Structure 1
Amino acid sequence: MLNRIKIRSRLLLSYAVPVLAIIAITLYGWSAFNTAEKNVTSLYDNRVVPLKQLKTISDSYAVFIIDAVNKANAGLISGNEAANNIRQANDTIHQEWSHYTENELTAEEQRLVAETERALRSADEVIAEALEVLAGVNGSPSGRLNAIDGPLYRTIDPVTAKIDELMQLQLREAAVIRDHTTEVHAVTVSVFVIGTAALLVVMLTLGLLIGRSISQPIHNLQQMINRIADNSDLSLRLDVTGTDEISDTSSALNNMLQKMDSLVQRLSGATAEVASAAEEMSAVSSQTQQSIAAQAEQTDQVATAMHQMSAASQDVARSASEAQSAAGNADELSEEGRQKGQDNRRRLEALSTEVTQVADAIRSLAEQSQSIGRVIQVINEIAEQTNLLALNAAIEAARAGDQGRGFAVVADEVRSLARRTQDSTEEIEAMVSALQSQSEKAVTAMESGQHEVELSRDQVIEVADILERIGGAVEHITSMGTQIASAAEQQSVAADQVNANLTHIVEVAEQTRTGADHTAQGSNDLARLAAELQAMVAEFRISQRA
């Protein structure tokens, strides 16, 4: 039942009961002591002081008045002295009696006081007579008061008797107060002893009950926590039967265990998923590493090919430059020959018909040369252009004779660099055959005019024409060499750019490979941590869900 009361209320109860009991005992004791104090005060004020007053009255009659009369009658004191003593004693008697009658009197006291006052009046009459006698004595009062002694004793003895009764009454009343005070003291002591014993019993009982109501649930809570900690069993639950703080703590612990149980279950499932994902990530990382390795190998092969291509482009550019130099020399020689041919041509005006035929043949040859130019335009790559130019240079060098030998050597070197363009070379060879056919026609036409000119003039005209053709071919070769050199330079620059890009690609691939290695290592670490987490989660016992 106590577990339905808050611990704070129980503790307050354990404090409040003894405090209230102590307060009650203290109030009772205070009341008892107050009563005792009142009794003592009443005893002193109403019994001791009146007793003293009565004693003073009795002594005043016996000691002062009777003694003064006896001494005066014996001549021991003067009449005035005796009168003064009697008056002083009588004033004290009336004063003390007046104070006494002002006290709270009982019915018995009031009866005795009335009787005493009647006796006092009789005594006052006798005392007045004694004072008159003493007032009439001029000398020694010895023997003068014999008549007063008898009446004086007869009137004072009843007074002293009543005073004695009043004094006995005061003693009886004081005894009553004493007995009442003693009774109050005994009751107070009994109440204190019984109350203290009862308070101790109640305190011990409350302490045991409240202590057990607090310690037992705490002990059960501690045992349950130890079981959970020792067995890692999250399926255990505490029995909650009360509404106090410990019950609230037990409910909170049950809620926490429920949440932890659910959390560990979800954590177990998530750990399995993490382990599976880590294994998949590790497999993907391995595949990525293999792909990156293959990509790096292919990139290295492409870089090697680009290096070779760049070197070949530089060789082509160098050969084209040498061809340009040789073409320049041939152009100078052809220019010198053209000048000589022009001098001789003035003498060959008569042979205009044969020259016209030769010119037609030359035009046909020029058309074939233009076909060669179109083929060159079709061939975009540098090697194809080099092939065509090398073929034209070889043809022109062959037609130039000894003067074209040096150029033929250069043409052969250029041709050796164009090994990969044999298909285009075959087409060019076909066109060269056509050119040779036209050249044969020109030769035939020239032979028909041999009957009209001398052999030397024919040779001069033929040389002039050949030089003219060589000059055009040389110019064309020079132009092609420039284009070849420019194209080779562009190709070299492009190859360098491609090579630089490939180098960057290789670096990026290396970084990617490093990242893949780190990813693989991270995947392995994640798998290891997932396994460790699964092992730790497996240590907990959780509730089985349907």
Structure 2
Amino acid sequence: MRLKDIRIGYKILVLVLVGIIGMAALGLSGYLGMSKASDDIDDMYSRKLKATRWMGSEMSLMRGVQMNIVKHILDPKDKAIEEALAERINKYGENWAKYKPLGMQSELAAAEIPHTEALWDKYMKEIQDVKNLVAEGKKDEAWQKYKNIENTTVKDLLKSLQGLRQVADDNAENLNNDIKARNSQQITFSTVLCLIAFLILGGLSVIIIRDITESLGRAVAACNKMRDGDFRLVGQSVVDRGDELGQMLTALTQMRGELTKLMRNVSESSEQLAASSEELTASSNQAAQASTQVAQSAADVVNSVEDQQKAVVKSNESVERVQSAVTHVKAQSTKVADNSASAAERAAAGSIAIDDSVNQIRSVERTVNGSAEVVDRLGERSKEIGEIVDTMAAIAEQTNLLALNAAIEAARAGEHGRGFTVVAEEVGKLAHESQESAEKIAKLIKDIQHDTEDAVDSMKTGREAVVAGARSVEGLRTMFEEINGLVKGVSQQIQTVDEAVDAMAQEAATITTEVAHISGYSNQVASEMQAVSAATEEQSASAQEIASASDSLAVLAQKQQEALARFRF
């Protein structure tokens, strides 16, 4: 497959994929290098730098042991010195246990470690001998022995520790150099890989861009020719591309051919249009003259129809006035009929109301008679109560006299009648109070009897008034019955008049409808004639406009031919 046949989107996708692959390779290379460097750094710290640190710590502890053993020889009773010595020895053992696994990973250190451990064991044994001499009080001998240890075992042990430390330092230095070398190789590899990716991407970009710009140049050249008026297809190169640019060039060539055909058709149409416009101008002038004559005739007909319409309007107005009068009479008769019916209904309702009033008045009369009887009985009862009160007053007076006599008899009795005197006085007081109460009741009874007599008189007067009202209402009911009969007669007469008025209204409405039809026909004829006149005038104006437009069209066709003459097709 040729590059020209591959779609532009796929070409751009290839560039993007090449860029992505290059960036991915570069990123992967960097990631692997960084991962390796990270592992080397971890190894340097865990294996080399830690070993160096432990060796430095061991040498420091070794010197501390030397210092503490000297202090112990000088002052064997100081427990703090002895404890510090034991602590440093234990610390040395702990650090050695941490260092040994790291040191065994190096061949040089692994060969030296057994020798160092043997020297340390020997040193611990000799220190124990010195401590035993000190415990026995042999300081000088202990000091001399320790000086010998310093010159032999201590020097050998420190030398061995220094050698192990040097091995750790050398390993760290070698690892650092290896890391630098690998980093340099990684940088070189990444740079070369980046340059290769850029070269591939740049080469593909140049090829694709050149391929695209070549086709765009052909399209621009074709557009420039069309801009200059050259639509000829002579000398047009063949499109040999299968991508979007090839499709664009093919479409551009086809568009150029279609525009050429269009211009040729427009040129031929312009010539025909110029010839036809001259014929149309002559025909339009003749049509305008004929339309003017028709419009004049239509105007005369419209005037005649308007005169007829005025006469019809006057007739219609007269009929409408008659119909209005009939309608008014009908409305008045209807109103009177409604009023008569309402009066009849109200008269009937009044008669019913009067019957109810008579019944109510009779009920009131019965109630008043009953109340009068009750009041009479109340007067009799009050008289009986008055007699009882008089009896009570007499009894109270008699009781008072008896109490007075009892008091006199008690006074005669002297000391023996003193208690009875008190009782007589109390009885006298009660009799006096009973007499006063009886007098008050008697007064109230007299007032009640007086009020009862007044009520009896009022009841008699009310009963007479009720009887007179009942007689008056009976007469009023008779009058309402007569009024109701008269109203019914008037209603029947008004109904007869209303029927006659309805017949007149229907006849007037029929006349009005017919006159309205005549007026409508006249209006329709006038409207049609006006429409004919207006249409004729419009036709005349249109014919004139067509003639004017035909002239303009001829001029436009001439200008169009002149404009097409500028193009080559």
Match of 1:280 in 2: 279
Alpha-carbon shift at residue 257 of structure 1 (Å): 2.3
For the structure 1 residues 127 and 12, does the alpha-carbon distance in structure 2 shift closer, same or farther, using more than 3 Å as the test? farther
Match of 1:189 in 2: 187
Q: State the AA in 1 paired with 2:33.
A: A
Match of 2:94 in 1: 95
Of the structure 1 ranges 32-41 and 198-207, higher mean CA displacement relative to structure 2 is found in 198-207
Distance 2:20 2:205 in 1: 14
Alpha-carbon shift at residue 173 of structure 1 (Å): 1.5
Q: State the AA in 1 paired with 2:228.
A: D
Alpha-carbon shift at residue 53 of structure 1 (Å): 0.7
Distance 1:234 1:89 in 2: 108
For the structure 1 residues 86 and 296, does the alpha-carbon distance in structure 2 shift closer, same or farther, using more than 3 Å as the test? closer
For the structure 1 residues 232 and 162, does the alpha-carbon distance in structure 2 shift closer, same or farther, using more than 3 Å as the test? same
Alignment of 1:30-49 (within 5 A): 30-49=31-50
Distance 1:43 1:168 in 2: 15
Distance 1:505 1:230 in 2: 55
Q: State the AA in 1 paired with 2:265.
A: R
For the structure 1 residues 241 and 59, does the alpha-carbon distance in structure 2 shift closer, same or farther, using more than 3 Å as the test? same
Is 1:225 the counterpart of 2:252? The answer is no
Match of 2:553 in 1: 526
Match of 1:245 in 2: 244
Distance 1:509 1:43 in 2: 114
TM-score normalised by the chain length of structure 2: 0.50
Alpha-carbon shift at residue 81 of structure 1 (Å): 5.0
Is 1:541 the counterpart of 2:540? The answer is no
> Any unmatched runs of 5+ in structure 1?
304-503
Given that residues 72 and 142 in structure 1 are in contact (C-alpha distance below 8 angstroms), is that contact kept between their aligned partners in structure 2?
A: no
Alpha-carbon shift at residue 288 of structure 1 (Å): 5.7
For the structure 1 residues 152 and 125, does the alpha-carbon distance in structure 2 shift closer, same or farther, using more than 3 Å as the test? farther
CA deviations 1:307-326 (Å, max 9, x no partner) are xxxxxxxxxxxxxxxxxxxx
Between Structure 1 and Structure 2, how many residues are aligned? 335
CA deviations 1:276-326 (Å, max 9, x no partner) are 332333454466679x59x979x99xx9xxxxxxxxxxxxxxxxxxxxxxx
CA deviations 1:159-183 (Å, max 9, x no partner) are 3333233222212221221121110
Q: State the AA in 2 paired with 1:224.
A: A
Q: State the AA in 1 paired with 2:93.
A: H
Alignment of 1:249-398 (within 5 A): 249-285=248-284, 292=290
Given that residues 126 and 152 in structure 1 are in contact (C-alpha distance below 8 angstroms), is that contact kept between their aligned partners in structure 2?
A: no
Distance 2:37 2:543 in 1: 103
For the structure 1 residues 78 and 10, does the alpha-carbon distance in structure 2 shift closer, same or farther, using more than 3 Å as the test? farther
Match of 1:120 in 2: 120
Q: State the AA in 2 paired with 1:182.
A: K
Alpha-carbon shift at residue 52 of structure 1 (Å): 1.5
Q: State the AA in 2 paired with 1:212.
A: R
For the structure 1 residues 275 and 25, does the alpha-carbon distance in structure 2 shift closer, same or farther, using more than 3 Å as the test? same
Distance 1:512 1:67 in 2: 138
Distance 2:6 2:136 in 1: 99
Given that residues 280 and 550 in structure 2 are in contact (C-alpha distance below 8 angstroms), is that contact kept between their aligned partners in structure 1?
A: yes
Given that residues 133 and 141 in structure 2 are in contact (C-alpha distance below 8 angstroms), is that contact kept between their aligned partners in structure 1?
A: no
Alpha-carbon shift at residue 513 of structure 1 (Å): 5.9
Match of 2:160 in 1: 162
Alpha-carbon shift at residue 152 of structure 1 (Å): 6.2
Q: State the AA in 1 paired with 2:91.
A: T
Given that residues 231 and 256 in structure 2 are in contact (C-alpha distance below 8 angstroms), is that contact kept between their aligned partners in structure 1?
A: no
For the structure 1 residues 120 and 509, does the alpha-carbon distance in structure 2 shift closer, same or farther, using more than 3 Å as the test? closer
For the structure 1 residues 514 and 23, does the alpha-carbon distance in structure 2 shift closer, same or farther, using more than 3 Å as the test? closer
CA deviations 1:333-374 (Å, max 9, x no partner) are xxxxxxxxxxxxxxxxxxxxxxxxxxxxxxxxxxxxxxxxxx
Given that residues 279 and 527 in structure 1 are in contact (C-alpha distance below 8 angstroms), is that contact kept between their aligned partners in structure 2?
A: yes
Secondary structure of the 1:144 match is: helix
Secondary structure of the 1:231 match is: coil
Distance 1:276 1:268 in 2: 13
Alpha-carbon shift at residue 199 of structure 1 (Å): 4.4
TM-score normalised by the chain length of structure 1: 0.52
CA deviations 1:35-68 (Å, max 9, x no partner) are 223222321221111112112222322x122333
Distance 2:288 2:268 in 1: 30
For the structure 1 residues 158 and 212, does the alpha-carbon distance in structure 2 shift closer, same or farther, using more than 3 Å as the test? same
Match of 2:59 in 1: 58
Given that residues 123 and 152 in structure 1 are in contact (C-alpha distance below 8 angstroms), is that contact kept between their aligned partners in structure 2?
A: no
Distance 1:534 1:142 in 2: 140
Alpha-carbon shift at residue 16 of structure 1 (Å): 4.3
Alignment of 1:499-510 (within 5 A): none
Match of 1:109 in 2: 109
For the structure 1 residues 273 and 65, does the alpha-carbon distance in structure 2 shift closer, same or farther, using more than 3 Å as the test? same
Q: State the AA in 2 paired with 1:69.
A: I
Distance 2:151 2:276 in 1: 137
Highest RCO, 1 vs 2 (Cα 8 Å, sep ≥ 6): 2
Alignment of 1:409-448 (within 5 A): none
Alpha-carbon shift at residue 184 of structure 1 (Å): 1.4
Distance 1:65 1:238 in 2: 101
Alpha-carbon shift at residue 109 of structure 1 (Å): 3.1
Secondary structure of the 1:539 match is: coil
Distance 2:107 2:143 in 1: 39
CA deviations 1:214-239 (Å, max 9, x no partner) are 33322332222011111241536564
Distance 1:282 1:56 in 2: 124
For the structure 1 residues 509 and 172, does the alpha-carbon distance in structure 2 shift closer, same or farther, using more than 3 Å as the test? closer
For the structure 1 residues 239 and 162, does the alpha-carbon distance in structure 2 shift closer, same or farther, using more than 3 Å as the test? farther
The CA RMSD over aligned residues, in Å, is: 3.9
For the structure 1 residues 144 and 194, does the alpha-carbon distance in structure 2 shift closer, same or farther, using more than 3 Å as the test? same
Alpha-carbon shift at residue 261 of structure 1 (Å): 2.8
Distance 2:211 2:132 in 1: 96
Q: State the AA in 2 paired with 1:25.
A: L
Match of 2:30 in 1: 29
Distance 2:124 2:265 in 1: 120
Distance 1:234 1:242 in 2: 22
Q: State the AA in 1 paired with 2:213.
A: S
Q: State the AA in 2 paired with 1:37.
A: S
Secondary structure of the 1:235 match is: coil
Secondary structure of the 1:105 match is: coil
Distance 1:507 1:171 in 2: 122
Match of 1:419 in 2: none
For the structure 1 residues 173 and 509, does the alpha-carbon distance in structure 2 shift closer, same or farther, using more than 3 Å as the test? closer
Alpha-carbon shift at residue 190 of structure 1 (Å): 1.8
> Any unmatched runs of 5+ in structure 2?
301-530
Is 1:216 the counterpart of 2:214? The answer is yes
Given that residues 53 and 100 in structure 1 are in contact (C-alpha distance below 8 angstroms), is that contact kept between their aligned partners in structure 2?
A: yes
For the structure 1 residues 512 and 51, does the alpha-carbon distance in structure 2 shift closer, same or farther, using more than 3 Å as the test? closer
Alpha-carbon shift at residue 114 of structure 1 (Å): 3.2
For the structure 1 residues 272 and 177, does the alpha-carbon distance in structure 2 shift closer, same or farther, using more than 3 Å as the test? same
For the structure 1 residues 512 and 38, does the alpha-carbon distance in structure 2 shift closer, same or farther, using more than 3 Å as the test? closer
For the structure 1 residues 268 and 147, does the alpha-carbon distance in structure 2 shift closer, same or farther, using more than 3 Å as the test? same
Distance 1:516 1:99 in 2: 121
Given that residues 69 and 145 in structure 1 are in contact (C-alpha distance below 8 angstroms), is that contact kept between their aligned partners in structure 2?
A: no
Q: State the AA in 1 paired with 2:110.
A: Q
Q: Larger radius of gyration, structure 1 or 2?
A: 1
Distance 1:107 1:202 in 2: 49
